[in-house]
Amino acid sequence: MKNIINSDIAVSESISFALTLAIIILASAMVFYAGVPIMEKSQSTTHFQEMERSFIFLLQNIDKVGYDRAPIRNIELKMKGGRFTVSHESMITIGDIPFDLGSIEYHYDEKTVAYENGAIWTKYPNGEVIMFSNPTFSIGNVTTIPALQLIGQYEIGGEGNVRIKSIHQSSSVWPLSPENGNVSLVINSSYYEGWFEYLNKMRENGVICDEPDRISKSVSCNINTSVVNVDFNQIKIQIE
């Protein structure tokens, strides 16, 4: 009996269990606090990539309304934070004629995906602009340049489904006669660096661009061509 009373076996087992439980709790806490931010970052990256792909369908809707003269097209997108805006800060000037453009933008996690004049742009926190889907400029002896003006003032944020309506307003073709076979092209846009990269790749088609102007957020080019047609479309945008 005396040996049983003085035994430390039970105490040792209790201490071992307590230490093991403490280690498990500490390890779980470390995994939780380290893993949750990584998981949230992964989810936000996945959501932004899904929105980039969804903008392809938005682009197709606007093309249908603009180029095919469809009266209206709808698309429903799912937001998980961030905000949608319709911006009116962009313009394209062909020769001496300016055309207002506009853009549909989704701002999320310090990044932006935007539709503007037939193209989709992604802008990162460091200011870098990547073309996710290229516009439909046709450069050659007969040059066709799109000019899609977006009409409407909207800004919506939060979470849930968002419906974007594209409604046809007007369409017209502006024929221009280049002087001495050349016409100037200036684009003012928040995505001017992306526009420069796109147009600068058309050197073999007779497009010569100056270095982009960071102050005015613009790119200026000269196009060697005989005929220029500006496909001008006005499209009303509603975000609900």
User: What mean pLDDT do residues 32-55 have?
Assistant: 74
Residues 76 and 27 in one domain: no
DSSP 142-169: EEEEEEEEEE---EEEEEEEEEEEEEEE
User: What mean pLDDT do residues 167-176 have?
Assistant: 95
Residues 14 and 105 in one domain: no
User: What mean pLDDT do residues 143-151 have?
Assistant: 96
pLDDT beyond 70 at 216: yes
Across 99-125, b (16+ Cβ under 10 Å) vs e yields: bbbbbbbbbbeebbbbbbbbbbbbbee
User: What mean pLDDT do residues 212-239 have?
Assistant: 96
Residue 125 CA to residue 92 CA, distance in Å, equals: 25
- Asked whether residue 44 is domain-assigned, the answer is no
User: What mean pLDDT do residues 150-162 have?
Assistant: 92
Residues 122 and 234 in one domain: yes
Q: What is the pLDDT of residue 21?
A: 64
pLDDT beyond 60 at 5: no
Residue 60 CA to residue 29 CA, distance in Å, equals: 47
Residues 18 and 89 in one domain: no
The residues pairing with 222 across neighbouring beta strands, listed in sequence order, are 184, 208
Q: What is the pLDDT of residue 133?
A: 93
- Give residue 79's domain range: 51-239
Residue bearing the bigger pLDDT, 235 or 1: 235
| DSSP type of residue 63 | H
Q: What is the pLDDT of residue 179?
A: 86
Tokens matching residue 82: 């961030």
Residues 86 and 191 in one domain: yes
Lowest mean pLDDT among 23-27, 69-73, 117-121, 214-218: 23-27
Q: What is the pLDDT of residue 37?
A: 55
User: What mean pLDDT do residues 226-232 have?
Assistant: 95
Q: What is the pLDDT of residue 2?
A: 46
Return the residue matching tokens 């207002």: 100
Residue bearing the bigger pLDDT, 86 or 39: 86
Residues 14 and 128 in one domain: no
Residues 28 and 56 in one domain: no
CB count within 10 Å of CB 135 equals 19
Residue 174 CB burial class (10 angstroms; 0-12, 13-18, ≥19) = middle
Count up the domains in the chain and report the number: 2
Average pLDDT across the chain, whole number: 88
Assign 126 to helix, strand or coil: coil
- Asked whether residue 43 is domain-assigned, the answer is no
| Cα three-residue angle 202-114-102, rounded to 5 degrees | 85
Distance (Å) of CA 75 to CA 13, 160, 168, 197, 237 = 64, 14, 15, 29, 11
| Residue 163: closest CA among 62, 78, 64 | 78
Residue 55 CA to residue 74 CA, distance in Å, equals: 12
